[in-house]
Every structure is written in C-alpha cells, then in structure tokens.
Amino acid sequence: MIEFRSVTKTYPDGTAAVADFDLVIPPHRTTVLVGSSGSGKTTLLRMINRMVEPTSGTIEIDGASILDRDPVKLRRSIGYVLQNGGLLPHYKVVDNVTTVLRLEGTPRRQARDRALELLDTVGLDRALADRYPSQLSGGQQQRVGVARALAADPNILLMDEPFGAVDPIVRAELQTETIRLQSELEKTVVFVTHDIDEAFLLGDQVVILEKGAQVAQIGSPSEIIENPASEFVASFIGAERGARALRTKRTDHGTVLVDGTGRTQGVLVDDLVEGGA
C-alpha cells in the first residue's frame, strides 16, 4: 500500500503543483490519476520514487516513510514507464532491459535470459532483442519500456502517460495488453493519463484531479460514471458528450462500458476486484 499524507509540493519558482494531498493506493490494483495537463499528476508520481521530494507531508510504502529509504535503492525497486519509453538509444533492446539487472549484480548470461523472458511477457518477439530502439515501432518501444520497468521484479509500477505518443490503434492494443499483464502480475500500478476513457478502462480506482492536484473524485469507474461528484467531474468525464458519453451496463459477464450509441467500449475490471483491497 502507498499512502500520501498531507503532501505538498511547491517548486522553487513558487509553483504550487500539489497542495495538501491525501490518497491511499491499495496494493495489487491499478490506481489511475487522471486530470488535465498541469494538474500535478507527474509530480505526484515522481514523489513516490523520490525523483521529486515533497515540500511537506509524508509518503509511506507499507507503513514506512520513503524518506527513510535510500533514494537510489528505492528508485531501483520501483518500475517506471515513461511516455517515449525512455529507452537508451545506443543500447540494444535486450541491453535496455538487462541494464537494470546488471546494476543489481545479475551475471551477464542470466540477465540476458531473464530479459528474453521479459520480452515474451510483454508480447515482443525475441528476434527484436538485438535491434536498437530506433529500429522498432512506437508501440514496440513502449513494450520494451514496460519490460525494462518489470526487470527488477518490482511490486510497484509507475506509468506516466505511457501510451500518449502512439496512434489510437496501437494505443488500444497496448491498453488491452496492460489489462492482460496486470491480471497475471498483480502489481501495484499507479498510472497517469489525461484520457478519461483510458482511466476508466484500466483503473480499479480512479482519482480525478483538478489544478494543484486537488481531488475532484475518487472511486471505481462505475461509481464515478454513475454518480459524478460535481459539475466539474460530470464535464470532465464527458457526461455532456452525447453519443460519446460513456455509461455502464451490467451483463452476465460483468460490467461493460458502452457509449451513447450502445456500442461496447470495454469491460470494467472493478467488478472483478470489488472489496479486494
């Protein structure tokens, strides 16, 4: 479990990115932080692995303050996926993944074997292992980024708009893949996006943020869709979008997300994990 308690971040230039923020992030679930650009999502995410230090307040992982942890070790124990994959361009795909393992002292041969397994895990052909990142498509690079983030077998995975730079079809593939992966791995995932549809598809818990990381609403996708807490939330989730407006529909197989035309947009996972946290 990750817990933010009265966390504030004011950057040196005076920007109040996060003000008095509280949140409990349950283990083995996906929590999505969703909000417009500049609402403080990246700042929140980077405070979890101490790439950004809070101005005040505390963040705990499993009851212990992260300020008592060695920042480098903490960072290595948490997977982090960035928008552009964040791959090292001069390293082959496989070496982008093994770097993390080599830093931890895993012998070269063993690290390579593990990296190849991780390529399988994220649905990449092993034949791509010896290519350079520039020789892969955007979607493939993103998968390598996920493989690398998983290399140290972290309990926590931070994902910052990981699919923001790929086209809609690849994006949909990566979203589906993320749902599959998470049902296998059950990491504690903190996922940042500005796309509310993506938030509803991937999140067990969705946190809608306004400027300064003010929490507009927290809940499961169906709770938020069925009961928006304010005009702001209603507008943000597109309750006014007519044919685009999403609503939930219960079926024998669980809850699905349908648009205004009745077309299914996805399956909600929150039904499957109700009370699981």
Q: 37: which 2 tokens? A: 């650009």
Cα distance between residue 52 and residue 25, in whole Å: 18
Tokens coding 252: 């024998």
SS3 call for 39: coil
190 binds ligand ADP (CB under 6 A): no
| Coil, strand or helix at 246 | coil
Q: Is 134 in the site for ligand ADP (CB under 6 A)?
A: no
- Judged by beta carbon distances under 5 to 8 A according to partner kind, the member of Mg ion, ligand ADP, none in contact with residue 39 is ligand ADP
Give φ, ψ of 9 to 5 degrees.
-130, 115
Gap between the Cα atoms of 151 and 170, Å rounded: 23
| Shortest Å, Cβ 231 to ligand ADP | 21
Q: Are 93 and 134 in contact (CB under 8 A)?
A: no
Q: Minimal distance in Å, beta carbon 195 to ligand ADP? A: 12
Closest listed residue to residue 39, CA positions, set 244, 199, 269:
199
Residue among 21, 31, 40, 200 that touches ligand ADP (CB under 6 A): 40
Q: How far is it, in rounded angstroms, from Cα 46 to Cα 245? A: 32
Q: For the window 42-81, what string marks contact with ligand ADP as x by the rule CB under 6 A?
A: xx--------------------------------------
15 binds ligand ADP (CB under 6 A): yes
Q: Does 42 help bind Mg ion (rule: CB under 5 A)?
A: yes
Angstrom distance (rounded) from CA 21 to CA 52: 15
Q: Does 43 bind Mg ion (CB under 5 A)?
A: no
Q: How far is the CB of 272 from Mg ion (least distance, A)?
A: 29
Residues 212-271 that bind ligand ADP (CB under 6 A): none
Rule CB under 6 A: say whether 35 interacts with ligand ADP.
yes
122: closest CA among 79, 91, 89?
A: 79
Instruction: Please work out the total of residues on this chain that contact ligand ADP, with binding judged by CB under 6 A.
Output: 12
Binding site for Mg ion (CB under 5 A): 42
Binding site for ligand ADP (CB under 6 A): 11, 13, 15, 17, 35, 37-43
